[in-house]
Structure 1
Amino acid sequence: MFLTFFVRSVPAATVLVGLIGIPWAMTNWAPFALIAEEISKRDAIRRGALRPPPTREGELLAQGEDESGGAGADQAGVVLGIHNVAIAAPQVIAALVSSVIFRALQKERGVPGDNSVAWVLRFGGCAALIAGWLTRRVGE
């Protein structure tokens, strides 16, 4: 997103937005693949096809329970619903912050030099850098 300071033409902006499609595709694909793999693994442990890890969680998993003692943990719909909320909440926040940035920086139609879109993209780039830095704190 730092390239938004240097882009001055429509073709260059088109290429820049096209390049955003590469990480966007990974962002859309990877979480669902990881969730599906984990649900499948945990289901295989419950069915006895895989050996549970030697932890308390592994014992509960093999018995078909979760740590709260509830049965039927790891239902795919529940897990994907939680994932959906985790995706939708930041999008709502980004829309609200973007509208504030547009309100503050957008010029009237026909007035040259409106770079409010670039500032929204820069904000998104900064948020992505902060998110990347915060993911270093996530454990295995």
Structure 2
Amino acid sequence: MPLISSKGMYGLSAMHELYQHQKGEPMQIREISANANIPQNYLEQLLSKLRKAKLVKSIRGSRGGYMLATEPTNILVKDILIALEDGIKISDTRSQNPVLNIFLDETKQKVEKIFDLTLQDLEEYQDKYNQYLHYNI
């Protein structure tokens, strides 16, 4: 069972696109879709959930689109996943064994802590990617 579903990955990709775009103007859904390689119809559903969670805002009109609702330092990866996945799930079932239930609860808390990165913190991974691509002949 994957920890992050395709819904979560697409949502993170869309939010990262909005973060990178930050020019004070909305980004149109077709542009987000093309850049992040997300089917447009599916992206609309994801952005609707993210809007309800107050992570993005939509602007109407011919120059409308989507923008981050707040500063990228205020948006946690965990918040995005919770908005899209209805929580971070390690297991959907409870055990009859109370020891295992305590273990699963602690595991969930630790996993959530791992995702306490902000959108801006993801730039660290952009730097790592750039180093990976950089080579000398």
Tell whether the structures are fold-level matches, with TM greater than 0.5: no
Q: Give the TM-score taking structure 1 as reference length.
A: 0.29
**TM-score, normalisation: structure 2:** 0.29
Of structures 1 and 2, the larger Rg is shown by: 1
Task: Name whichever structure is richer in helix by fraction.
Answer: 1
RCO higher in 1 or 2 (8 Å CA, sep ≥ 6)? Answer: 2
Which structure carries more strand by proportion? Answer: 2
